[in-house]
Every structure is written in structure tokens, then in C-alpha cells.
């Protein structure tokens, strides 16, 4: 696992162009916070460029999802026009819950999401520290739900490492296929092809929050895990296998 270190440090200290030396005691954590991020307008419902949809539940925070055309239609959101948040809190709560039921996640803030998502895109493995990508399909028959999830990681640790990631990563042909579906039923077929799990009732699936409060609670557990990932000493120890939390006891299912 030691072979990962030079790579990791090159991501942290090379690509992200921190202005300080890799001395972990000298305030690296703060430096990570100062990184420039693409901003998020708290009035926006949907970013046409990124495909991100945001709902603003009355409990605070945001519910964030990335949806295809079929999912947007399912949510009764425009597929072709930009939109802003509603001035009616009940409407925001209603949409937030429907988004959770399509696999979206609650986040305490945009910043927390963006900061860690960027590091994932830069190739830092997060494994169980970051919410999985949860893909949901509702058959038009109204019976049951298909759920297929994978890790948000773009990269995992070295192959010679004995540790197994807690989830598979996105299949290579995933985006190319799921992007082409025209109906929810076609989406379900593709999900099935990728080995999705069928649940009689959406309530049976632990990956989907049944209430806004449950979504918030799940998000807060991830907030704790992500806080750990802001401590570079912890990240080093975790990546090198020294930190407890690589084992099954830390996995999401056991919370
Ligand atoms: C869908 O949205 C339109 C306009 O945004 C609205 O008039 C309609 O009532 C909505 N339908 C449902 C089922 O929510
Ligand atoms: C969204 O709000 C902005 C102002 O913040 C406004 O300029 C824009 O026209 C609004 N867009 C829609 C689709 O209502």
C-alpha cells in the first residue's frame, strides 16, 4: 500500500497547487478549504450544464441529485428549461423527498459536497466516506422498484492491496447505456442488466430515505465521515491501512 503515497501527495500537493509545503502539521487542512470551487447559486433549481438538481428542504441543507431526462420527467421538472427554487417551502420539501426516492442525497451545504467531490474527481479514493451513487427505477406498472448502486470513487487504491472497496465502481459502459433510455421501463431494464436489486416496496431498500428526516440523518453521518477525510493524517493512515475503519465494522450498512 505504500506505493500509493507518492501518488496521493502528488494529487494533494501537485495538481491542486497548494502554496505550502507538505508538512502536515502546518495547516494543510485550512489550505484545502481555501481552494477555489465553482460556485452554487442558492436560488437555482437546476444547473443545465452539470445536470445537477437542487431542492431546499425547510429543515436546512440541500438535497442534490444528478438526473437524466427520464428522471426529470418522473419528478415533473422541465427537461429543457432552467428553473429556480420555489418560494413555497412545502413545494421544496415535497420535491426534496421525491428526489431522495430517486437516489439523491441530503447535504448540509453545497461547499461540503463540492470540496470532496472535487477530490474524488482528482482521483483520491473515498470508499465508504462518501455517499454511493444510487440509481433507482420505478416500473410503470407501479409495482416495486429497481435499485443499483456503485461507489462514487473514480479511482481506488492499488490492486496489490488486499483490501476490497466496499462497493464496485461505476461500470465502464454504464453512462453510455443509461443515458439512452426513453422511458422509466427502459431504465428499469438497463438497471436489471447491471444487476440491480428489486424491492417490492421502496421502504424495503436501506439505500433510500423514507422521510426527509431520515435523509438528513444519513447525510449527517456522511458529514462526520467526510470531516475525517479533511484531516490529512487520518487520510494517510486510512489509505495505508493503519487506520481502523477499513473493516466491515465501519461500513454504511452497520450504522
Ligand atoms: C407538473 O408541473 C406542472 C407545471 O410545472 C404543474 O402544472 C402540474 O400540476 C405538475 N403535475 C404534477 C402531477 O405534480
Ligand atoms: C431565476 O432567478 C434569477 C434571479 O436570481 C432570474 O434572473 C431568472 O430569470 C430566474 N429564472 C427563472 C427560470 O425563473
**pLDDT tens, 72-87?**
999 999 999 888 999 9
Look at the pTM and tell me if it is higher than 0.85: no
**Would you state the pLDDT for residue 172?**
93
**Would you state the pLDDT for residue 160?**
66
| Of 207, 217, 210, 205, the residue nearest 59 (C-alpha) | 217
**Would you state the pLDDT for residue 38?**
62
Ligand 2 centroid distance, CA of 42 (Å):
11
Q: What is the DSSP letter of 81?
A: S
Instruction: Indicate whether residue 80 lines ligand 2 (CB < 6 A).
Output: no
Question: Contact 90/57 with Cβ under 8 angstroms?
Answer: no
**Averaged in consecutive runs of 10 residues, what is the pLDDT profile of the chain (255 residues)?**
45 38 38 51 82 93 95 94 94 98 96 92 92 98 97 80 84 94 98 98 95 97 96 89 55 44
Cell (9 digits) for 201:
416496496
Ligand 2 centroid distance, CA of 164 (Å):
46
Residues 6+ apart with CB under 8 A from 92: 55, 56, 57, 58, 85, 86
Instruction: Indicate whether residue 42 lines ligand 2 (CB < 6 A).
Output: no
Any idea which residue has 442534490 for its cell? 64
Instruction: Indicate whether residue 83 lines ligand 2 (CB < 6 A).
Output: yes
Q: What are residue 216's phi and psi, to 5 degrees? A: -65, -45
**Would you state the pLDDT for residue 31?**
38
**Sign of dihedral through CA atoms 75, 80, 85, 88?**
negative
**Would you state the pLDDT for residue 240?**
83
Q: What are residue 65's phi and psi, to 5 degrees? A: -140, 155
Instruction: Indicate whether residue 25 lines ligand 2 (CB < 6 A).
Output: no
**Would you state the pLDDT for residue 155?**
85
Ligand that comes closest to the CA of residue 86: 2
Ligand 2 centroid distance, CA of 54 (Å):
15
CA pair distance 162, 157, nearest whole angstrom: 10
Ligand that comes closest to the CA of residue 78: 1
pLDDT of 15-29, one tens digit each? 343 333 333 433 334
Report strand pairing: 105-107 vs 133-137: unpaired
Residues 6+ apart with CB under 8 A from 57: 63, 92, 93, 96, 106, 212, 216
Instruction: Indicate whether residue 78 lines ligand 2 (CB < 6 A).
Output: no
Instruction: Indicate whether residue 82 lines ligand 2 (CB < 6 A).
Output: yes
CA pair distance 63, 77, nearest whole angstrom: 15
Instruction: Indicate whether residue 48 lines ligand 2 (CB < 6 A).
Output: no
Ligand 2 atom nearest to CA at 44: 1
**Would you state the pLDDT for residue 49?**
74
Residues 6+ apart with CB under 8 A from 59: 212, 213, 216
Please tell me the residue having the least CA distance from ligand 2 atom 5.
43
**Would you state the pLDDT for residue 24?**
40
Cα distance between the two ends of the chain: 27
Ligand 1 centroid distance, CA of 76 (Å):
6
Ligand that comes closest to the CA of residue 81: 2
Please tell me the residue having the least CA distance from ligand 2 atom 10.
84
Please tell me the residue having the least CA distance from ligand 2 atom 7.
84
Amino acid at each position: 500500500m505504500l506505493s500509493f503515497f507518492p501518488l496521493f501527495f502528488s494529487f494533494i500537493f501537485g495538481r491542486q497547487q497548494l502554496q505550502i509545503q507538505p508538512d502536515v502539521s502546518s495547516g494543510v487542512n485550512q489550505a484545502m478549504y481555501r481552494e477555489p470551487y465553482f460556485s452554487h447559486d442558492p436560488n437555482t433549481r437546476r444547473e443545465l450544464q452539470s445536470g445537477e438538481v437542487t431542492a431546499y428542504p425547510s429543515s436546512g441543507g440541500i438535497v442534490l441529485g444528478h438526473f437524466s431526462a427520464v428522471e426529470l420527467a418522473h419528478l415533473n421538472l422541465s427537461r429543457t428549461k432552467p428553473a429556480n427554487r420555489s418560494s413555497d417551502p412545502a413545494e421544496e420539501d415535497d420535491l426534496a423527498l421525491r428526489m431522495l426516492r430517486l437516489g439523491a442525497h441530503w447535504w448540509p451545504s453545497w461547499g461540503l459536497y463540492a470540496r470532496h467531490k472535487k477530490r474524488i474527481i482528482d482521483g483520491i479514493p473515498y470508499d465508504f466516506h462518501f455517499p454511493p451513487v444510487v440509481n433507482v427505477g420505478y416500473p410503470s406498472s407501479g409495482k416495486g422498484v429497481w435499485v443499483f448502486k456503485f461507489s462514487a470513487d473514480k479511482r481506488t487504491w492499488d490492486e496489490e492491496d488486499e483490501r476490497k472497496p466496499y462497493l464496485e465502481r461505476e461500470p465502464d459502459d454504464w453512462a453510455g447505456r443509461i443515458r439512452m433510455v426513453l422511458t422509466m421501463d427502459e431504465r428499469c431494464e438497463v438497471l436489471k442488466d447491471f444487476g440491480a436489486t428489486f424491492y417490492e416496496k421502496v421502504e424495503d431498500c436501506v439505500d433510500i430515505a423514507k422521510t426527509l428526516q431520515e435523509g438528513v440523518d444519513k447525510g449527517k453521518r456522511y458529514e462526520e465521515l467526510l470531516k475525517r477525510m479533511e484531516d490529512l493524517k487520518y487520510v494517510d493512515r486510512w489509505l495505508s491501512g493503519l487506520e481502523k475503519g477499513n473493516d466491515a465494522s465501519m461500513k454504511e450498512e452497520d450504522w
